[in-house]
C-alpha cells in the first residue's frame, strides 16, 4: 500500500528561470508513509544567481504538508518586493501564508491545512544571498489510513467469499462432468467394436470372392480310385450282358460229325 501512496503523488514543477534542485525520499511505519522532498535554491550553499524564478508544487489526495526550515538567507527588502520565498497553503491559493526575505534562524516548522502546497522563489537582478535549504514532508491522514484499512479488510473478505462459492460450484459440476466422461467412454468402446466387426466381415467377403474366381482343381486320388472302380464294374456288367446282345459276325458253317447222317467219310 505504501507503493500506491507513492504513485498517487502528483508533483508539478515549473521552471521559468534558473535550475530547480529537489530530492524526494519516503519513510514508512506499517501502513503509514511519510514522503520528504529536499528543496533548495540554485547553487546552494553558494549565492543564488540573479533573475531567478523557481516553483515547486506538491499534492496528495489526503493529509497535510510540513515545511522544515534548515537554512533561510534571502536578500532583505521592504515587504519582500525584491528577492522572496513564498509558501502557499494549497496549490491553488493566491495569497501566500509565508513571506520570507531575510536571514532567519531557528524558524518554527510550517504546516498546511490542505493536502497540497506551493513554494515560489524569486530573485531580481541586484543583490544575492546564500539562499535556502528546506525539507517538505507529507504527513499522512489518520482517517484516510483507517478507511483504507477497512476497504482492504472488506476486499479480503469479499475475495474469501468468492473463493468459497467457486469451490462449491466446482463440486456441483463434478457429477455432470463424470457422467459426460462415462458416456463418451461408452461411445468410444461401441465405435471400436463396430469397426472391428466391419473389418471382420470385409475380410470374410474378400476370402469368398477369392475362392469363387479360382479355377477348379483336379480330383483327389480317392475320387480317381472310386472312378476306376465304377468303370471296372461297368465293364463286368457289359461282359455279362454281351451274350444277350445279337452278334454282328456271320455264323460259321458247322462241320458234320461222323456220326451224323449224311456224313460221308472218305477213305
pTM of the model: 0.48
Annotate 90-112 with b (16+ C-beta within 10 A) or e (fewer).
beeeeebeeebbeeeeeeeebeb
| pLDDT at residue 229, rounded to an integer | 54
Low-confidence residues of the chain, pLDDT below 50? 1-22, 27-31, 252-256, 260, 262-267
Torsion of CA 122, 124, 129, 135, to 10 degrees: 0
Q: In sequence order, which residues have a C-beta less than 8 Å from that of residue 129 and are 6 or more positions away?
A: 47, 48, 73, 74, 75, 83, 103
Q: What's the CA gap between 221 and 96, in Å, rounded? A: 135
| pLDDT at residue 234, rounded to an integer | 53
Side-chain-side CA neighbours of 65 within 13 Å: the count stands at 26
DSSP assignment of 23-62 equals EEEEEEETTEEEEEEEEE-TTTTSPPPSSEEEEEEEE-SS
Q: How far is CA 204 from the centre of its chain?
A: 52
Beta carbons of 92 and 144 less than 8 angstroms apart: no
Q: Report pLDDT digits (tens) over 253-267.
A: 444 455 545 444 443
| pLDDT at residue 169, rounded to an integer | 57
Domains contained in the chain, CATH given: 19-26+35-161 (2.60.120.290)
Beta carbons of 35 and 6 less than 8 angstroms apart: yes
Amino acid at each position: 500500500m505504501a507503493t500506491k501512496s507513492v504513485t498517487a503523488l502528483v508533483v508539478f514543477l515549473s521552471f521559468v528561470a534558473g535550475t530547480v534542485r529537489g530530492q524526494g525520499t519516503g519513510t514508512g511505519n506499517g501502513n503509514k508513509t511519510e514522503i520528504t522532498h529536499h528543496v533548495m535554491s540554485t547553487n546552494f550553499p553558494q549565492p543564488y544567481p540573479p533573475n531567478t524564478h523557481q516553483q515547486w508544487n506538491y499534492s496528495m489526495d489526503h493529509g497535510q504538508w510540513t515545511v522544515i526550515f534548515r537554512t533561510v538567507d534571502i536578500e532583505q527588502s521592504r515587504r519582500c518586493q525584491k528577492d522572496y520565498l513564498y509558501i502557499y497553503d494549497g496549490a491553488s491559493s493566491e495569497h501566500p501564508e509565508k513571506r520570507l526575505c531575510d536571514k532567519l534562524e531557528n524558524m518554527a516548522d510550517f504546516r498546511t491545512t490542505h493536502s497540497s502546497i506551493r513554494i515560489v522563489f524569486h530573485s531580481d537582478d541586484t543583490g544575492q544571498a546564500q539562499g535556502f535549504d528546506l525539507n517538505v514532508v507529507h504527513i499522512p491522514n489518520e482517517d484516510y489510513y483507517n478507511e483504507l484499512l477497512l476497504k482492504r479488510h472488506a476486499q479480503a473478505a469479499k475475495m474469501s467469499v468468492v473463493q468459497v462459492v467457486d469451490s462449491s460450484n466446482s463440486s456441483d459440476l463434478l457429477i455432470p462432468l463424470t457422467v459426460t466422461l462415462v458416456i463418451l467412454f461408452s461411445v468410444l468402446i461401441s465405435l471400436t467394436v463396430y469397426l472391428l466387426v466391419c473389418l471382420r466381415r470385409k475380410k470374410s467377403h474378400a476370402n469368398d470372392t477369392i475362392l469363387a474366381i479360382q479355377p477348379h482343381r483336379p480330383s483327389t486320388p480317392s475320387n480317381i480310385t472310386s472312378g476306376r472302380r465304377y468303370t471296372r464294374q461297368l465293364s463286368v456288367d457289359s461282359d455279362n450282358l454281351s451274350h444277350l446282345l445279337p452278334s454282328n459276325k456271320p455264323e460259321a458253317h458247322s462241320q458234320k460229325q461222323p456220326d451224323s447222317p449224311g456224313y460221308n467219310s472218305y477213305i
